[in-house]
Structure 1
Amino acid sequence: MKLLLRYPLVAGTIAALLAVLVLLLSGQPLIAQVSASIYALAVAAYLAVGMVRRLIGGQWGIDILAVTAIVSTVLVGEFIASMIIVLMMAGGTALEDYAAGRAKKELTSLLERVPQTAHRERNGSSAAENHANGQHEDVAATEVRIGDILLVRPGEVVPLDGILLSESGSFDESSLTGESLPVDRVAGEGLMSGSLNGEAAVRMQVTALMEDSQYSRIVALVKEAADSKAPMVRLADRYAVPFTALAYLLGAIGWIISGSPARFAEVLVVATPCPLLIAAPVAFLGGMSRAARGGIIVKYAGVLEQLSRIKTVAFDKTGTLTYGRPALIGVRTSGSFTEDEVLGLAASAEQYSSHVLAASVMDAARTRGLVFESATEATEFATHGVRARFDGRDVVVGKPKFVAESAPGVTETELASGELAIYVGVAGEFAGSLVMSDPIRREARRTLAELTGLGVTRTVMLTGDALATAEHIADEAGLTDVRAECLPPDKVEAVRALPVRPVMMVGDGVNDAPVLAVADVGIAMGARGSTAAGESADVVIILDDLSKVASAVRIGQRTVKVALQSIWIGIGLSVALMVAAMAGYVPAIAGALSQELVDLATILNALRALSPGRKGAGTKLPGQKADVGATGRPVSRLPRSAERS
């Protein structure tokens, strides 16, 4: 009953068809013919209105074939065939919805698990008392605040991001990371909202509000992706004119050969366009679902078509090609300053910065047990550094030119390949520098080789780092081009100027948001990336894994391939049936029924986009010769200050 109410045209057509059959069996063929004809023409008129509206809007479709087929079968007296065509058209919508639901399974499964409530410990009782007496209150997850203590029971979804307070716990993070095995966490480690608790109840402290938690961000992206419309869902329309012309031509030839207008109607019956209209949207939804299963959220279905054609890939360095967690390897002091004093003051200033290097400086200071001072005022200068005032002393941390503006006498530190320096000025005097190193990701070179195998001809690094550091990382990764010492506007202009398109940009930070937006396809490494970068990007990778970039391109290529295959299967089968109908071998009723089989074949093929396909197809493996950039790589240096990307 629910299905009949959902698809009233299907229900009405079935009822009308049964009524016509009853009339025929009761010996009233004329009434049956008139009734069926009126119903079929009414449906044709309804379809024609939508067709005309699209034509006025400049969208040429192949709905005209369906309307012509219904009208022509009514005119030649094939009223049963006309009813079957109407049923086929209505049934095609139902089949498409079913296939779309199957294709969206991975997307919608995330939406169904959104945590709604949380078990919060009441204030005023100790943890032991709360645990023993059940002093917890069930509150909406949206009401939980940072610092609240929550109880997560066995088998429950972690509602918000937080830190584990219990001694240990086991969590299923497959819906977030794709990792099928449970992950063990110990006290003090972070918990991601959306992960599933194991067999023991655990306590956690909330570190992010509902709207800022990892799972909520993923769900928001998934919902946006699920609701998107692809420019390519009407992919078949580009074949509309030649296909329609061919159908009319074959129908006319059949009419001339046989001398009967019924032959024209029989050809048009098998030329109805359901397979062509269904194939592309089902394949694209399948591709989006396949990507989501691998931790890749494609925000708009049309992005998959762009991904399939990518020729140039540009990468940010810090946090993208490298891990983005630079470690302190040394403190160089100047004048009377000690190492701990330089590091402590730098960390105190960096606590007011959102830059990825700031977190590393603070971590290094905490490791040494240094206490942070509170500033009376602090200002961050994007991509340059931060200035803060402590007890009347100005502390400036960042690039050498930026620090030199407040503390003359800055001496640039000699660095080995892969190292970077953060400079510190205190009360107008150069205090020293912090030498750090951010290693390249293990999967970086393999990812570049896979992209080359997928047809990418140019790879570029866009970074604010010094040229020497950038070149070192580029050599290790196998990049073909380096643009060093870039500010955010420089990156935007560099991407706009890249000649081989489409261009894909991969980044993770706030300063990457503008360039992600201007690229043909922007990919945000969202595991630790900023909200701004995620909002500007077309694709968000929710895992801390660079190889997913190559996976996204591969899924895009397979999705388009399956969509086009499905369309051509529909066209091929329809043309074969049209030729047979033109020769008089396919009566109208048989032709209408055969189209349902064509629909089914098209849908089943389009659903192949859900599968990964033949492993390694079209991709050079890491062991194959695909290395580039070790020699002869063009390098350009932009006139900007260095070392804080």
Structure 2
Amino acid sequence: MLPLIKRYPVVVVTLIVLLATLGMLGTGWGQLAQLVASAFALGLAVHLGWGMAKDIARGHWGIDVLAFTAILATVVVGEYLAALIICLMLSGGEALEDYAQMRATKSLSSLLERVPVWAHRVEADGTIHDVRVAELMVADAVLVRPGEILPVDGVLLDPEGSFDESSLTGESMPVYKIAGESLLSGAVNGARAITLRASATAADSQYSRIVELVTEAAASRAPVVRLADRYAVPFTMLAYVIAGAAWWASGDPVRFAEVLVVATPCPLLIAAPVAFMGGMSRAARTGVIVKDGGTLERLAAVKSVAFDKTGTLTQGIPQLRSIHPVEGMGEEELLSLVAAAEQYSSHVLAASIVAAASDRSLAISAVRDASEVATHGVSALVGKRRVLVGKPAWIKSHVPDVRHYELASGESSVYVAVDGHFAGVLVLADALRPDAAETLWQLRSMGIQDLLMLTGDQQATADHIAGELGLTRVRAECMPEDKVNFVRGLTRRPVMMVGDGVNDAPVLAASEVGVAMGARGSTAASQSADVVIMTERISQAAQAVRIGKDTVHIAVQSIWLGIVLSVLLMLVAATGVLPAILGALSQEIVDLLTIFNALRALKGTQKFEVRPGSHSQGREAVAPGVNRPAE
């Protein structure tokens, strides 16, 4: 109860004053009840009026002006109970909107844990101490364990190492470094622990520079005006016209207050937040976290969508695409031998090969006399057969009969020799996500035709992926700044950008809607994005747009429902047959009807359409571990 009081003091105090007023009326202290209620309502009106005056001075005319007038009018004519009910509706609506924002952002905490906070510093005597990344100094030796993020820029001290720099450069293939080569903070270490010597502090490292760019881009983005405020001026003017006409026709100022009581714009204040909260909850159930209600409004209006390539349209992990054995050797035999030789390698391609053999239930034999030549390949004795796996030049230096295999754009190859003879080639590639094409179809079906790809990868690879997806607009070899400048130059707005890496964080912040593939994406990308996809399904980006459109449709529908009912009540009140207290209670009924309609956003009104011939299901996909509510 105490946290509730601290967070929503106005709501709690209004309830206490209302109950106290009713209690005083029940004991015959009518004048004291009127004094307490009127003083409280006027105090709240002054607070509301101060904020309203500042908004008007900034050129922003909101619907608060009507609520302010209604409180003053009811107090002046002695309808203090109606004034308290208006105060309760107003404060409750603001609390509900705040709760919706808090509920949405709280779900993100589990996604924002990737940023390096601690580092393993190697002291002069060889001991290892865990220190905060900010405490690292230039020339410090730092141990980075397998799978950990490099905390600072540095130089490799070990003979060799493998690193995933896809979150920095957009390149999906692993990068191999030897002693003395530079390492970038934000890269992910491979399967073996390495030691680096810091060449910069955390504040001056690559990761921090990208985060700084994110901050600048986010600060330049214009705020979104509340949906309800678009209806503020016409609704307010209509209410004043009806109230003024009722006063003029009857000659009774009470009639003016009675009309304004039912004109109090609580449906306008409450409908949009409730619908947006429902839309955000609906999105969260499908594994999509939308950070605020304004994002849903911008999603509904998206005109252009830009995608990163690596880890977004593609899976970001090299996969075995084809096997090309020499005559006399079968595909499964070749794959089994290579998987056996590669099973102890730290090479990222090796992990993909072993996984492919396991998926085919092939036997992976134990090996003897295995060794790895840094950046070249692996030699291992598999049973009684000597197997060499590696780059074509290295294999050719050991066997004379190597035959060259022509690769397509985006492919990588592993050459194999067995017992001194060329045995074949394994081809790997960063495959498209299974639902990438479906996602583009979904977006086009919603009227979004301006689809493009921005990537730091090479032009040939980018063109190959774009060709598979039918994308005609491609910008390759982009640095983070290039992506930001390109998105800012797009004319069809709002723009939605979908990415997953640190290098995507600046452009996510610069777009009207930034969508981060948060399941494997970086903290910087998740923090700068407006939408975080918690699953590995890029189709959730299209689903987010559909939920945004659905939510805004329901919110606008709810607002109009409230407006129409309020206008009908105003016309009734103008005749004098609806006392102020009954009018306030009638307005509560309008609020309930508006809220119930807005809550339809929890389920939505539109099914997620499926492309003819697609294997996708018509129902919304639910995130793992999330229960679907009863229907």
**So what's the TM-score if we normalise by structure 1?**
0.60
**1:290-309 superposed matches below 5 A:** 290-309=282-301
Choose the corresponding residue for 1:84, options 82, 85, 97.
82
For 2:479 and 2:340, locate their aligned partners in 1 and report how far apart those are by CA, in whole Å: 28
Query: Is the aligned partner of 1:10 residue 2:10?
Result: no
* Residues 495-504 or 361-370, more deviating: 361-370
- Aligned residue in 2 for 1:131: none
> Any conservation in 2 of the 1:343–1:434 contact (CA below 8 Å)?
no
Q: 1:524 to 1:422 in 2, by over 3 A?
A: farther
- Aligned residue in 1 for 2:182: none
Choose the corresponding residue for 1:20, options 16, 25, 29.
25
Query: Is the aligned partner of 1:75 residue 2:76?
Result: yes
- Aligned residue in 2 for 1:562: 554
- Counterpart residue identity of residue 83, structure 2: I
- Counterpart residue identity of residue 68, structure 1: T
Q: 1:588 to 1:306 in 2, by over 3 A?
A: same
Q: 1:521 to 1:94 in 2, by over 3 A?
A: closer
Task: Give the drift of 1:269.
Answer: 1.5
Q: 1:361 to 1:302 in 2, by over 3 A?
A: farther
> Any conservation in 2 of the 1:513–1:533 contact (CA below 8 Å)?
yes
Q: 1:243 to 1:44 in 2, by over 3 A?
A: farther
Give the secondary structure class of the aligned counterpart of 1:562: helix
Q: Tell me how large the CA RMSD over aligned residues is.
A: 4.6
* Residues 460-469 or 447-456, more deviating: 460-469
For 1:95 and 1:109, locate their aligned partners in 2 and report how far apart those are by CA, in whole Å: 22
Query: Is the aligned partner of 1:461 residue 2:453?
Result: yes
- Aligned residue in 2 for 1:629: none
For 1:314 and 1:109, locate their aligned partners in 2 and report how far apart those are by CA, in whole Å: 25
Q: 1:101 to 1:494 in 2, by over 3 A?
A: closer
- Aligned residue in 1 for 2:520: 528
- Counterpart residue identity of residue 61, structure 2: W
**1:221-300 superposed matches below 5 A:** 234-300=226-292
Task: Give the drift of 1:493.
Answer: 3.2
Query: Is the aligned partner of 1:48 residue 2:46?
Result: yes
Task: Give the drift of 1:298.
Answer: 1.5
Give the secondary structure class of the aligned counterpart of 1:325: strand
Task: Give the drift of 1:110.
Answer: 9.5
Please list the CA deviations of residues 141-180 of structure 1 after superposition, one character each: whole Å capped at 9, or x if unmatched. xxxxx99xxxxxxxxxxxxxxxxxxxxxxxxxxxxxxxxx
Query: Is the aligned partner of 1:444 residue 2:449?
Result: no
> Any conservation in 1 of the 2:550–2:606 contact (CA below 8 Å)?
no
Please list the CA deviations of residues 524-579 of structure 1 after superposition, one character each: whole Å capped at 9, or x if unmatched. 22222233332332211111112111111111111222222222222221111112
Choose the corresponding residue for 2:412, options 379, 401, 421.
421
Task: Give the drift of 1:519.
Answer: 2.4
Give the secondary structure class of the aligned counterpart of 2:317: coil
For 1:486 and 1:109, locate their aligned partners in 2 and report how far apart those are by CA, in whole Å: 32
> Any conservation in 2 of the 1:10–1:87 contact (CA below 8 Å)?
no
For 2:489 and 2:289, locate their aligned partners in 1 and report how far apart those are by CA, in whole Å: 27
**1:177-576 superposed matches below 5 A:** 234-328=226-320, 329=322, 360=352, 414-416=406-408, 419-421=410-412, 435-576=427-568
Please list the CA deviations of residues 358-407 of structure 1 after superposition, one character each: whole Å capped at 9, or x if unmatched. 965897999798957597xxxxxxxxxx999xxxxxxxx99x9xxxxxxx
For 1:439 and 1:17, locate their aligned partners in 2 and report how far apart those are by CA, in whole Å: 69
Q: 1:484 to 1:40 in 2, by over 3 A?
A: same
- Segments of 5+ residues of structure 2 without an aligned counterpart are 111-144, 147-192, 194-221, 326-334, 359-363, 378-389, 394-402, 416-423, 615-631
Query: Is the aligned partner of 1:608 residue 2:600?
Result: yes
For 1:108 and 1:558, locate their aligned partners in 2 and report how far apart those are by CA, in whole Å: 23
For 1:364 and 1:614, locate their aligned partners in 2 and report how far apart those are by CA, in whole Å: 39
For 2:590 and 2:225, locate their aligned partners in 1 and report how far apart those are by CA, in whole Å: 19
Please list the CA deviations of residues 227-284 of structure 1 after superposition, one character each: whole Å capped at 9, or x if unmatched. xxx9668432333233222222211111111122222121111111222211222222
Please list the CA deviations of residues 584-610 of structure 1 after superposition, one character each: whole Å capped at 9, or x if unmatched. 332323212211111111211221221
- Segments of 5+ residues of structure 1 without an aligned counterpart are 24-30, 113-145, 148-206, 208-229, 333-338, 376-385, 389-396, 401-410, 425-431, 625-645
Q: 1:233 to 1:496 in 2, by over 3 A?
A: closer
Choose the corresponding residue for 2:37, options 28, 39, 43.
39
> Any conservation in 2 of the 1:100–1:282 contact (CA below 8 Å)?
no
Q: 1:441 to 1:500 in 2, by over 3 A?
A: same
Q: 1:103 to 1:530 in 2, by over 3 A?
A: closer
For 2:93 and 2:232, locate their aligned partners in 1 and report how far apart those are by CA, in whole Å: 21
For 2:84 and 2:607, locate their aligned partners in 1 and report how far apart those are by CA, in whole Å: 42
Q: 1:420 to 1:111 in 2, by over 3 A?
A: closer
Q: 1:481 to 1:622 in 2, by over 3 A?
A: farther
For 1:262 and 1:369, locate their aligned partners in 2 and report how far apart those are by CA, in whole Å: 93
Please list the CA deviations of residues 63-107 of structure 1 after superposition, one character each: whole Å capped at 9, or x if unmatched. 33334333333433xx3x431331343155447757986998798
- Aligned residue in 1 for 2:418: none
Q: 1:272 to 1:606 in 2, by over 3 A?
A: same
Please list the CA deviations of residues 402-430 of structure 1 after superposition, one character each: whole Å capped at 9, or x if unmatched. xxxxxxxxx997323x6423799xxxxxx
Q: 1:63 to 1:364 in 2, by over 3 A?
A: closer
- Counterpart residue identity of residue 69, structure 1: A
Q: 1:88 to 1:490 in 2, by over 3 A?
A: closer
For 2:271 and 2:84, locate their aligned partners in 1 and report how far apart those are by CA, in whole Å: 19
Q: Percent identity of the aligned residues?
A: 50
> Any conservation in 1 of the 2:226–2:294 contact (CA below 8 Å)?
no
- Counterpart residue identity of residue 281, structure 1: P
> Any conservation in 1 of the 2:61–2:229 contact (CA below 8 Å)?
yes
Give the secondary structure class of the aligned counterpart of 1:415: coil
Tell me the number of residue pairs that the alignment of Structure 1 and Structure 2 aligns. Answer: 454
> Any conservation in 2 of the 1:280–1:606 contact (CA below 8 Å)?
yes
Task: Give the drift of 1:36.
Answer: 1.1
- Aligned residue in 2 for 1:428: none
Q: 1:283 to 1:304 in 2, by over 3 A?
A: same
Please list the CA deviations of residues 415-455 of structure 1 after superposition, one character each: whole Å capped at 9, or x if unmatched. 23x6423799xxxxxxx998422332222222111111122
- Aligned residue in 2 for 1:61: 62
For 1:483 and 1:467, locate their aligned partners in 2 and report how far apart those are by CA, in whole Å: 8
Please list the CA deviations of residues 175-232 of structure 1 after superposition, one character each: whole Å capped at 9, or x if unmatched. xxxxxxxxxxxxxxxxxxxxxxxxxxxxxxxx9xxxxxxxxxxxxxxxxxxxxxx966
For 1:543 and 1:466, locate their aligned partners in 2 and report how far apart those are by CA, in whole Å: 27
Please list the CA deviations of residues 321-350 of structure 1 after superposition, one character each: whole Å capped at 9, or x if unmatched. 222222245699xxxxxx99x999999997
For 1:245 and 1:596, locate their aligned partners in 2 and report how far apart those are by CA, in whole Å: 22
Please list the CA deviations of residues 488-540 of structure 1 after superposition, one character each: whole Å capped at 9, or x if unmatched. 44433332333222221212233333332332222122222233332332211
- Counterpart residue identity of residue 30, structure 2: A
Please list the CA deviations of residues 119-142 of structure 1 after superposition, one character each: whole Å capped at 9, or x if unmatched. xxxxxxxxxxxxxxxxxxxxxxxx
- Aligned residue in 2 for 1:577: 569
For 1:73 and 1:299, locate their aligned partners in 2 and report how far apart those are by CA, in whole Å: 38
